[in-house]
Amino acid sequence: LLKKEVKQINFLNIDYKNMFDGIFVCVSLLHLSNDDLIIVLKNLEFSKREVIMENLEGVERLKSDIINDNNKKVCFICTANINRSAVSHLLFEDKLLKEGIENISVVSAGFLPVSQKISKEDLSLGQDYEKILADFEVDQDLISNFYSEEFSDKHIDSDYFIVVSQKHKTLLIRKYNIS
């Protein structure tokens, strides 16, 4: 389709310098230990031509808030909140629940207006994603109670925003004055 080579490698083996315009890493970063996550984020940062990941400080702040039992809210954002941000949200929330961490609340949202979606089924997670989350032993109640949400005032008060792309970050800054 792209007619370009696609590499599939372990995150810890990434050792490229100034090679890529963008990197798609999906939600599997959530499965790394905290120490490995810092290493991987630094490696990914150096492998991009333009560094747009100033998130290492944010990761460290979130880690500190978790450890220090500070009440914080994390919001995962993508376009429609039915795939990327939804899966990230559910994986992260499940991990927090299993670790007994109660001071971090998790929400997710999309910028696509919900009114453009056709039915209630369109607001829920797709079966393929439900199966993947079940394979990761994510709590079934979390999965079945998830519905896509449009970004709104409910999300603006989040302490951390985890976005899928620079486009989503730019929209947060320009439209909602969140930086």
Q: Sorting pLDDT into bands at 50, 70 and 90, what band is 20?
A: low
Q: Determine contact, residues 151/109, Cβ cutoff 8 Å.
A: yes
Calculate Rg over the CA atoms of the chain.
17
Which of 16-25, 66-75, 119-128 comes out lowest in average pLDDT?
16-25
Enter the pTM of the model: 0.68
Q: What is the mean pLDDT of the chain?
A: 77
Quick: pLDDT tens for 68-117: 999 999 999 988 888 888 988 999 999 999 989 999 999 999 988 765 55
Does position 7 have pLDDT exceeding 60, yes or no? yes
Q: Sorting pLDDT into bands at 50, 70 and 90, what band is 42?
A: low
Average pLDDT over residues 124-148: 86
Does position 138 have pLDDT exceeding 60, yes or no? yes
